[in-house]
Amino acid sequence: MPGQRFAFGPFLFHRDRGVLLEKGKRVAVGRRGILLLDALLRRQGEIVTKAELMDAAWQGITVEESNLSVQIAALRKVIGLAPDGKEWIATIPRVGYRFLGVVMEGAEDAPNQLCARPMLAVLPFDNLCGDPQQDFFTDGLAEDILTTLSKVPGLVVVSRSSSFSYKGSRATAQRIAADLGARYIVEGSVRREGDRVRITAQLGDGMSGSQLWAERYDRQLDDIFAIQDEVARAIVAELSAVVNPVEVALWPAFATGGTMNMESYQCFLRGRAMQRGATQNAAVVRRAADLFREALALDPNYAAPHAGLGMALAHIYFNRWSDDPEGSLDEAQRSVDEAVARDPLDPFAHGAAAVVAMYAKDFGRWAFEVDQALMLNPNFAPALSLRAILNIYGGSTRAAIHDLQRARRLDPCFSHTYLHHLGVAHLVAGDYEAAVALFGERILLAPETDISRAFLCAALGNLGHLEEARQVWDELMNINPAYSVDRITALPFRNSCDVARITKGISRAGISPTA
């Protein structure tokens, strides 16, 4: 079996040889450091406990915990900081350590490949129209190209939320590639004038910075879907040397975009932009729903707005942002049914159907739609997260943790949401210390979260840290005075003992079940 190796930043680690290279040159690392690095890289993104690391590095020899701290400090000194200026190895207080960098995994017999499947990131295209109000169109074009490429079985595409976090950034393509762990970068620009559009697109090598392919398209606006098709096919053709030709042959035919009505398409893009925005409240979600309805009024056969509307209505139902929440859920179910019926090859439609099924507590359909979405797009991080949540509520925490760790690798900039669900998985599994660390990390990234504080209170209560648990609950009440334990008991846990474990921790802290 060929030797395994891991690449992160400028480093390449050969497991079987116990060698760490930096830009081809051997790095001096002691035996203990190599064993610790191996243990952390093999479980990249996971918390590795102190006990596990000491077993890996000292292999049965009893040593003081301070020896581990010394070895980790020495290892950090050798590998320096990640491209984002943070430590590669994060300390999880009282629990252990986690390797945070994006790691690419490969084998010795693939010297020209850092990972078995090439990773590509599509950056937001530049808007050259001079009108910021047209950003929705420029971003929508880039996202549709990203979605199309993500359906190629032999290609791993970094999620939209991660690649689009670089919108407006002055960072070089090489820096962004290093941050995201991507070998290839797609960039472009859009200039729209009347009924014509000029699009430039280029594919670059994220390691060398060289340009592999570039093209300019000057067409009628109605040709936008054909341009998306051409750009995606040109990129795959350029990457043919590193993409399995058998898998490419299985690549499904491109969708036409679902509509030839440009007004309908633009209404959908506006709604999707609002749905993806940082601000999510009743007014924003209702406006997104209205835009999807406008798109459907212009073209009732267009599948994507049906899916978008179903998602919006599901969130309206869950947050009680309507006078008739149950009516919103019923309409959401009809909308996603229409989306799936009109475009059964769209993973977004199946993902939306899974969200609606989750809120409806329809576990059978939830599982089916998630599986369909991942069959169509194995790199669809939201679907991985939805499958993980399904497994958490079903008590299969080990499978949930696996999916969430993969979702974090595909979508590192959306990590805070996955951290919450990882915390819940560990809490349900009874690993309260790990849960405390994960919820604490999530709160640092999302300071206004109420739900993570509620679960953190439960984990602390179960550990007997009652004063700290009460303090966390007080913080929660300051953020959302209307929050109550009922929000947790209403979640669709299939095993009553899992809910009891959570509420027990809260009750131990002196919080009333009716609070």
Tell me the pLDDT tens digit for each residue of 317-341. Answer: 988 899 999 999 999 999 999 999 9
Q: Are 352 and 339 in contact (CB under 8 A)?
A: yes
| β-pair partners for 69 | none
Residue 256 has pLDDT above 50, yes or no: no
CA–CA dist 417, 125 (Å, integer)? 26
Residues 6+ away with beta carbon under 8 Å from 208? none
Quick one: tokens of 384? 């991985």
Q: For residue 189, report the phi and psi dihedrals to the nearest 5 degrees.
A: -145, 160
Report which secondary-structure segment, H or E, holds 109: none
Q: What percent of the chain has pLDDT over 70?
A: 90
The pLDDT, as a whole number, for residue 475 is 95
Q: Are 422 and 397 in contact (CB under 8 A)?
A: no
Q: Are 228 and 148 in contact (CB under 8 A)?
A: yes
Confidence of residue 413 (pLDDT cuts 50, 70, 90): low
Question: Measured between alpha carbons, how far is residue 163 from residues 128, 249, 269, 360, 376 in Å?
Answer: 20, 27, 18, 32, 21
Q: Are 339 and 303 in contact (CB under 8 A)?
A: yes
Residue 465 has pLDDT above 80, yes or no: yes
CA–CA dist 75, 71 (Å, integer)? 6
Residue 243 has pLDDT above 80, yes or no: no
Residue 251 has pLDDT above 90, yes or no: no
> Of the given ranges (44-58, 128-142, 401-415), which has the lowest mean pLDDT?
401-415
When pLDDT is averaged across residues 389-398 and rounded to a whole number, the result is 92
Q: Which fold has domain 4-107?
A: Arc Repressor Mutant, subunit A (1.10.10)
How many other CB atoms are found less than 10 A from the CB of residue 269?
22
Q: CB-hemisphere CA count at 13 Å for 418?
A: 26
The pLDDT, as a whole number, for residue 414 is 65
CA–CA dist 509, 473 (Å, integer)? 9
Q: Report the sign of the C-alpha dihedral through residues 496, 497, 499, 504, in that order.
A: positive
Per residue in 191-229, pLDDT (tens digit) is 988 888 889 999 888 877 888 888 888 888 877 777 877
Confidence of residue 114 (pLDDT cuts 50, 70, 90): very low
Q: Report the sign of the C-alpha dihedral through residues 240, 242, 246, 251, in that order.
A: negative
The pLDDT, as a whole number, for residue 412 is 67
Work out the burial of residue 435: count CB atoms within 10 Å of its CB; fewer than 13 is exposed, 13-18 middle, 19 or more buried: buried
The pLDDT, as a whole number, for residue 150 is 77
Residue 381 has pLDDT above 70, yes or no: yes
Residue 3 has pLDDT above 60, yes or no: no
CA–CA dist 213, 195 (Å, integer)? 27
Superfamily classification of domain 397-515:
Tetratricopeptide repeat domain (1.25.40.10)
> What is residue 180's three-state secondary structure?
helix
Q: Options 2.60.40.1120, 1.10.287.130, 1.25.40.10, 3.20.20.70; which CATH number does 260-378 get?
A: 1.25.40.10
The reply to whether 397-515 shares the fold of 260-378 is yes
Residues 6+ away with beta carbon under 8 Å from 306? 292, 296, 335, 336, 338, 339, 342, 349
> What is residue 198's three-state secondary structure?
strand
Amino acid at 110: A
CA–CA dist 11, 5 (Å, integer)? 10
Question: Measured between alpha carbons, how far is residue 415 from residues 47, 159, 372 in Å?
Answer: 14, 11, 24
Architecture of domain 119-249: 3-Layer(aba) Sandwich (3.40)
When pLDDT is averaged across residues 340-360 and rounded to a whole number, the result is 92
The pLDDT, as a whole number, for residue 113 is 37
When pLDDT is averaged across residues 401-412 and rounded to a whole number, the result is 82
Q: Is the pTM of this model over 0.75?
A: no
Q: For residue 287, report the phi and psi dihedrals to the nearest 5 degrees.
A: -65, -40
Average pLDDT over the chain, rounded to whole? Answer: 84
The pLDDT, as a whole number, for residue 186 is 92
> Of the given ranges (42-46, 349-353, 487-491), which has the lowest mean pLDDT?
42-46
| Residue carrying structure tokens 């606006």 | 221
Q: Are 387 and 402 in contact (CB under 8 A)?
A: no
All structural domains of the chain with their residue ranges: 4-107, 119-249, 260-378, 397-515
